[in-house]
């Protein structure tokens, strides 16, 4: 397994550092760390301040790298154990390109709660990565200090949703559990949906313990968030359908809605190519 771990040195990515380190130990995974240092204010679009000196720019980058290294050490990672790639701007694009270059199997980054609904609709890092990555993206709540053990996966029987269930099983491991959730009105097709969920649960074992849950009606994102909150789950897994960028960012998108409101970490699986 190859993990790309994106850190920004803030409290919002501390959980990602911890989970990345724990997952790497459990899976004997190779980890590449990426981070983007914000440019001095003078380099931002529309900035009116004088250009920063080279020394000031170096100091900003040095301070940023020190914060990232402190995060890694807090997660139990020895200095120099993992390569660290530094970018200067366009962090979302930088993360995507780095994941492609190292052929990552998983991207791990922080799930920040501050104004998330606004950032997801205006090109934030998490929104950019989750909507464009070709591998699963694990957005970890900043307060997380252990690997997810119990998850729910939204299943509509599309390839991305099935991939989300499989990826969730990989994250929670054999000792964990994944609840398979299908949200649909009660119809003549309900018994067939139950049968298909049971079949999927049997295919996921022994990778993890899977149990099926059918909700008769409701909004899929709200249902997943409610189940996670009610049962104290660590992770919600959803599939991302291959639609246009504009369609992916509308309020009705299940993956975006879950990222906005989840009480725990979120795993977004990409469309199956």
The answer to whether residues 235 and 151 touch, using CB atoms and an 8 Å cutoff, is yes
pLDDT digits (tens, 9 = 90+) for 129-159: 998 999 999 999 999 999 999 999 999 999 9
Residue among 157, 166, 140 nearest 235 (CA): 140
DSSP-derived secondary structure for 97-109? HHHHHTT-SEEEE
* 251: pLDDT strictly greater than 80: no
Mean pLDDT lowest for which of 10-24, 107-121, 164-178? 107-121
Q: How high is the pLDDT of residue 60?
A: 84
Find the distance separating the first CA and the last CA of the chain, reported in whole Å: 20
What residue ranges do the domains of the chain occupy? 2-141, 150-269
The answer to whether residues 134 and 100 touch, using CB atoms and an 8 Å cutoff, is yes
One fold for both 2-141 and 150-269? Answer: yes
Query: Other C-beta atoms within 10 Å of 156: how many?
Result: 18
Which CATH architecture best describes the domain 2-141?
A: 3-Layer(aba) Sandwich (3.40)
pTM of the full structure: 0.87
Superfamily of domain 150-269: HUPs (3.40.50.620)
Take residue 45 and report the two structure tokens written for it. Answer: 């679009």
* 200: pLDDT strictly greater than 60: yes
Residue among 238, 167, 179 nearest 209 (CA): 179
């Amino acid at each position: 397994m190859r993990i790309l771990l994106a850190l920004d040195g803030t409290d919002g990515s501390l959980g990602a550092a911890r989970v990345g380190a724990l997952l790497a130990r459990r899976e004997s995974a190779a980890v590449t760390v990426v981070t983007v240092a914000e440019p001095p204010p003078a380099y931002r679009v529309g900035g009116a301040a004088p250009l920063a000196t080279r020394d000031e720019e170096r100091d900003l980058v040095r301070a940023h790298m020190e914060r990232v290294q402190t995060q890694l050490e807090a997660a139990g990672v020895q200095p120099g154990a993992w390569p660290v790639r530094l970018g200067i701007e366009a962090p979302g694009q930088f993360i995507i390109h780095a994941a492609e270059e190292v052929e990552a199997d998983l991207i791990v980054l922080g799930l920040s709660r501050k104004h998330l609904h606004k950032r997801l609709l205006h090109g934030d890092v998490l929104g950019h990565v989750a909507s464009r990555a070709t591998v699963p993206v694990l957005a970890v709540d900043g307060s997380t200090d252990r690997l997810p053990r119990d998850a729910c996966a939204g299943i509509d029987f599309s390839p991305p949703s099935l991939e989300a269930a499989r990826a969730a099983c990989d994250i929670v491991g054999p000792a964990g559990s994944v609840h398979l959730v299908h949200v649909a009105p009660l119809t003549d097709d309900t018994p067939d949906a139950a049968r298909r969920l049971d079949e999927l649960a049997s295919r996921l074992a022994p990778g993890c313990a899977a149990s099926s849950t059918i909700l008769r009606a409701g909004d899929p994102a709200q249902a997943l968030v409610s189940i996670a909150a009610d049962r104290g789950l660590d992770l919600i897994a959803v599939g991302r359908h291959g639609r246009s960028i504009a369609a992916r960012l509308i309020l009705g998108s299940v993956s975006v809605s879950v990222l906005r409101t989840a009480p725990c970490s979120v795993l977004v699986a990409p469309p199956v190519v």
